[in-house]
Amino acid sequence: MQACIAKGIANAAMIELIRSNDPVMLSWVEAYLRDAGVEVVVLDQHMSVLEGSINALSRRLMVSSEQEDLARQLLDEAGVETKSDD
C-alpha cells in the first residue's frame, strides 16, 4: 500500500493484470506500461525472493482501475496475455 500512496493512487482500486513467475517478462511489462504513462505496482516480488526462487509464489502486476482499459489495450497490442476478469 505504501507504494500506491507514494504514486498517488491510494484511493483507486487495484486490478491484477498479470500473475507470473517470469521476472524478465514482468520487468519488461512494467517498463512498457510506465513508458506509456500507466502507474504499475508489482506485488509479492519480495516474497518470491524469500521463498528461495523456486517459483512457488507468483508475482502480481497491478494497475489502478482507472488505467485498466489503457493497460489492457497496450498489452493486447504487444501480444501479452492478461488475466481476464473473474
In a domain, 82, yes or no: no
pLDDT at 86 over 90: no
Identify the residue with better confidence: 35 or 9.
35
pLDDT at residue 49, rounded to an integer: 62
In a domain, 64, yes or no: yes
CATH of residue 7's domain is 3.30.70.790
C-alpha cell of 74? 497496450
Q: Considering the entire predicted model, what is its pTM?
A: 0.77
Domain that holds residue 33: 2-77
Give the tens place of pLDDT for each residue, 47-72. Answer: 756 666 666 788 899 999 999 999 99
In a domain, 49, yes or no: yes
Task: Give the three-state DSSP class for 15.
Answer: strand
**Which residue shows C-alpha cell 504499475?**
40
